[in-house]
Structure formats: C-alpha cells, structure tokens
Amino acid sequence: FDPRHYLGTHRHGFPKTGPHRLRFLLESVKDLRETLKKKGSTLVVRKGKPEDVVRDLITQLGSVSAVVFHEEVREIL
C-alpha cells in the first residue's frame, strides 16, 4: 500500500482513496490472500513507497529473476 494514494490529490485536494474505496480494497486483498492460501501460496502485503518496498523485498528474497509492474495512467491537460 503506497501511502501517497491516501493523501489529497494535487489538483483539488480530494482524497484519492476514500473510506468506501479503502474498505473495498482491503476486502479484496483479504479475499485474494485467502484464495492464494487455499492453493498453497501466499500474498506479500507491505506499506510504503513501491520503489523502496520492492527493492527491500528483492534484497530479502535474494534470487529474483523478474519484477513485473504497471504504472498509473495520469491525466494530461
């Protein structure tokens, strides 16, 4: 979870993630973790800036062959 997603937007000051969206997100992550657990896997959940968290996870795991990510699409005006 990137803390920057819970701050006000740079344009209008509205939260990027309000209470209803946050609850949906938390429930979705919980459900995904439970589904993966039933299949013998797990889900790693961390809080922090992704550029820091991913680097730390790679360091901890030691043998990472690939990292896949997506970038948020930003509105251009």
Which is higher by pLDDT, 70 or 40?
40
pLDDT of residue 22: 85
Residue 64 pLDDT exceeds 80: yes
For every residue of 18-77, DSSP letters joined together read -HHHHHHHHHHHHHHHHHHHHTT-------S-HHHHHHHHHHHH----------------
Q: Judge whether 67 and 54 are in contact, CB under 8 Å.
A: yes
**15: β partners:** 8
Domain ranges of the chain: 3-61
Q: What's the whole-number mean pLDDT along residues 45-62?
A: 91
Its pTM surpasses 0.85:
no
CATH level 3 topology of 3-61: Rossmann fold (3.40.50)
Averaged pLDDT score across all residues of the chain: 85
Q: Alpha-carbon distance 69 to 33, whole Å?
A: 19
